[in-house]
Amino acid sequence: MFKPVRICLIGATGMVGAEMIEQATERRDIRLVGVARREVKLPAGARMEMLLADPRNWADAIAASAAKVLVCVIGASQAQLEGDEAAFRAVNLDLVVRCAKAAKAAKMEHMIVLSAAGAHIAHKDFYLHVRGKMEDSLAKIHFRRLDILRPVEVSEGGGAGVIANLFRKSRGIPVDKLARAIFALAKESRGGRLIHDQAQLLKLARQPGAERLRA
């Protein structure tokens, strides 16, 4: 019997999360459970659950999602946090790692996380250093499968970028294609730690399994 992949979505209030929610309304192979701190306006026909909690209590919400895959697409820019490096680290590193540990404790063995092109723990750029530290910390949690997404930038239809890095002049991946790539990865069964650059993400978005499967 057909059974949809159940995904716990962290970052439902952001651009990537919103696109995933929109696409999931027309898919029968995916079921989303969003975890957020505030209400999210859902599109007509949405078939998903939203669990609202303070981030300090997200571990309980993640466990309650009973999901197979954790997808984490949270991330605040330094501009959004007014250059506060401690706040930036708290969101883009500490919170991501706490969510990952909660998922592992809840017996999830697959995590998909949004990072950035050029991320490395030894990078001199603060943004890319923190992203690299995040990747390194997640690897130590030992998921059966960990997918790290490293787009150059994520863009809406108008090309507005939401991931700032050293390659801002490069063309970003459209958010609808990134969402399709994430859904394709969520259905993968083989294990390992895989890093996907922008070209690979675009290729994943074109795979038959990434297309919307209508109910």
pTM value?
0.88
The count of other CB atoms within 10 Å of the CB of residue 45 is 10
Handedness of CA 37, 186, 196, 202 (dihedral sign): negative
- Give 79's pLDDT tier (boundaries 50, 70, 90): low
Q: Is the pLDDT of residue 108 over 80?
A: yes
Q: Which of 13-22, 73-82, 144-153 has the lowest mean pLDDT?
A: 73-82
**What was the pLDDT predicted at 135?**
97
Q: Quick: pLDDT tens for 177-188.
A: 999 999 999 999
Q: Quick: pLDDT tens for 143-157.
A: 999 999 999 988 875
**What was the pLDDT predicted at 41?**
84
Q: Are 71 and 20 in contact (CB under 8 A)?
A: yes
User: In whole angstroms, how far apart are CA 19 and each of 32, 136, 176?
Assistant: 12, 27, 6
Higher pLDDT, 193 or 88: 193
**What was the pLDDT predicted at 45?**
78
Which span out of 4-8, 155-159, 168-172 was modeled with the highest average pLDDT?
A: 4-8
* Helix (H), strand (E) at residue 155: strand 154-155
Which residues are CB-contacts of 91 (< 8 A; sequence separation ≥ 6)? 74, 75, 76, 81
- Give 19's pLDDT tier (boundaries 50, 70, 90): very high
- Give 209's pLDDT tier (boundaries 50, 70, 90): low
Higher pLDDT, 42 or 35: 35
- Give 211's pLDDT tier (boundaries 50, 70, 90): low
Q: Which domains does the chain have, with CATH numbers?
A: 5-210 (3.40.50.720)
Instruction: Give the closest residue to 47 by CA, choosing from 37, 34, 60.
Output: 34
Q: Is the pLDDT of residue 165 over 50?
A: no
Q: Is the pLDDT of residue 168 over 50?
A: no
Q: Are 102 and 59 in contact (CB under 8 A)?
A: yes
> H helices within the chain, ranges in order?
15-24, 58-64, 85-89, 96-105, 126-139, 175-186, 198-205
